[in-house]
Structure 1
Amino acid sequence: MTSSHPGQPADPHGPRPEGEGTRGRAERRRERIRRDIQAARTGRKLIPTWLMALVLGLFLAGWLYLIITK
């Protein structure tokens, strides 16, 4: 088994043209991002955003009320 770097296994497919490995990695990353975005778009939302905002607003209003009345 011959390799260009000690301790590294030889590439069974032979040498790759320069930049091919990077291009493949970038394409896999883009595909993963596309898949994640699509999953986020079709994902089921358990709590509507407006309800989360309302709860946060009530929490902050209660906190301010405690600070002002003490």
Structure 2
Amino acid sequence: MQDQPVLIALLAIAAGIFSLLGGINNWDWFMKSFRAGLFVKTIGRQGARVVYGILGIVLITIGVLLLLIG
């Protein structure tokens, strides 16, 4: 396996963990960031938490699959 796919997989896993934790822990600074603020204004804070939780799970899954099949 080349180094670049491993790096991409690890970055996807790290971003997924960060997103998942931000959604679960309801970090104020996370939810008040510019991009999260767009979700919060559109679907509410609880909806944004769900979206970020799902996004985190998806990114972690993609990262793990990249490691396994790469």
TM-score interval, normalised by the smaller of the two chains: 0.3 to 0.5
Determine which structure has greater relative contact order: mean sequence separation of CA pairs < 8 Å that are 6+ residues apart, divided by chain length. Answer: 2
Tell me which structure has the larger Cα radius of gyration. 1
Tell me the TM-score normalized by structure 1.
0.38
